[in-house]
Amino acid sequence: MSLPTYQNFIHGKPMANKSKETFAVTNPATGEVIYHVEVADEFIQQEAIKSAKEGFSVWSAMMPIERTRILNKAVALLRERNDELAKLKYSIPVSLFKKPTVLILKLALMSLSTMPA
């Protein structure tokens, strides 16, 4: 059985790194490798910085009321999924908490897979 390999999520979509380097994520209870994640190499880091600058430019140009609506929607979504997020706490391997960007990626992928179209 082939294990999934997750790419970094940049500017709203998965993006492959240039180095092709990955690392294994293991289930701490069993030591079993459960999937792989691509390393955020220099290319990915630069793309993330570029995306963040673009996003900040758009965000900064918004009226405060627009930003407030977006943040309120985010709060509402988090509250709606509070129970689901609480369960995730126990399904994410502890090793990911040592790699915050990977944890963010994992949570984002899980959220996107459950979002209504």
Please tell me the pTM assigned to this model: 0.62
Tell me: the pLDDT tens digits for 44-81?
999 999 999 998 889 899 999 999 998 888 888 888 88
Q: Residue 92: name the closest of 40, 29, 38, 39 by CA.
A: 29
Distances (CA, A) of 44 to 38, 68, 98: 10, 30, 19
DSSP-assigned beta bridge partners for residue 5: 36
Q: Which residues contact 59 (CB under 8 A, 6 or more apart)?
A: 67
Lowest mean pLDDT among 4-13, 37-46, 53-62, 77-86: 77-86
